[in-house]
Amino acid sequence: MGMTTLDLFPRSTPPIVDRMGPCAFVLRGFALPIAAELVRAVTAIDALAPFRHMETPGGFTMSVALTNCGDLGWTTDRRGYRYTTVDPVSNQHWPAMPATLRALARTVAITAGFGAFEPDACLVNRYLPGSRLSLHQDKNERDFDAPIVSVSLGMSAVFLFGGSARSDKTTRVPLHHGDVAIWGGEDRLRYHGVMPLKDAPHPLLGAQRINLTLRKAG
């Protein structure tokens, strides 16, 4: 008998869930049992595909440093946004997606009521004090049926969750070490971003925040 992914995250009490929208939630502390393992995995990913500051099609350099793991990785340069199977810096495949991370994303999708989720891409973001991510939609994926699962590690951030137009009002959602956000369904294309990070070092990660965003891109 194989273990189900749910067995990896045994809980005696239901998770604490904050609702951001009809199909958008934050599962508080859901990744804490594997947080240290995820930090080690990010160090290993960084060794193979180092964090880098990518350029947007408009010519801006992102303040967030990015890398990827999984079959597909998200990149941007002057030619546009896209998913690639290889890291354009090394011409090697992106590092493999850690099995525990995939299992976490599956469990979160089931727990939040989205059903089976098979991510093939994980964008890894590194924020230092002052780094921010402007409002955007995640829309480079082939279809929008699958949710987005986003794991936060290290320093806390204020996530902005908006509407279907960039100008729509946003709500501020604090995201802390171990929190997992998920949005899909009618909320899948909502604008979102991250406010400039405050310098409030975290015991495990110091003055940085790591965010892992799992997607079904291909």
Ligand X SMILES: O=C(O)CCC(=O)C(=O)O
By CB under 6 A, name the binding residues for ligand X.
123, 125, 133, 138, 150, 152, 159, 175, 192, 194, 211, 213
Please report how close the Cβ of residue 66 comes to ligand X at its closest, in angstroms. Answer: 8
Which of Mn ion, ligand X, none has residue 123 at its interface (CB below 5 to 8 Å by kind)? ligand X
Closest-CA residue to 192 (of 176, 215, 179, 173): 173
Please report how close the Cβ of residue 13 comes to ligand X at its closest, in angstroms. Answer: 25
Quick one: 100 or 137, whose CB is closer to ligand X? Answer: 137
Which of Mn ion, ligand X, none has residue 133 at its interface (CB below 5 to 8 Å by kind)? ligand X
Tell me the two tokens of residue 24. Answer: 């958008």
CA-derived radius of gyration, the chain = 16
Give me the DSSP letters along 123-168.
EEEEE-TT--EEEE----SS-SSS-EEEEEEES-EEEEE--SSTTS
Cβ atoms of 207 and 147 within 8 Å: the answer is no
Cβ count near 84 (within 10 Å): 14
Whole-angstrom distance, CA of residue 140 vs CA of residue 163: 18
Whole-angstrom distance, CA of residue 31 vs CA of residue 149: 12
Please report how close the Cβ of residue 138 comes to Mn ion at its closest, in angstroms. Answer: 4
Please report how close the Cβ of residue 151 comes to ligand X at its closest, in angstroms. Answer: 9
Quick one: 7 or 88, whose CB is closer to ligand X? Answer: 88
Sign of CA dihedral 194, 140, 150, 171: positive
Quick one: 152 or 170, whose CB is closer to ligand X? Answer: 152
Give Cα separations from 31 to 111, 144, 150 (angstroms).
13, 24, 10
Which of ligand X, Mn ion, none has residue 131 at its interface (CB below 5 to 8 Å by kind)? none
One character per residue 21-60, x = contact with Mn ion (rule: CB under 5 A): ----------------------------------------
Contacts (CB under 5 A) with Mn ion, residues 116-145: 138
Please report how close the Cβ of residue 6 comes to ligand X at its closest, in angstroms. Answer: 25
Q: Site residues (CB under 5 A) for Mn ion?
A: 138
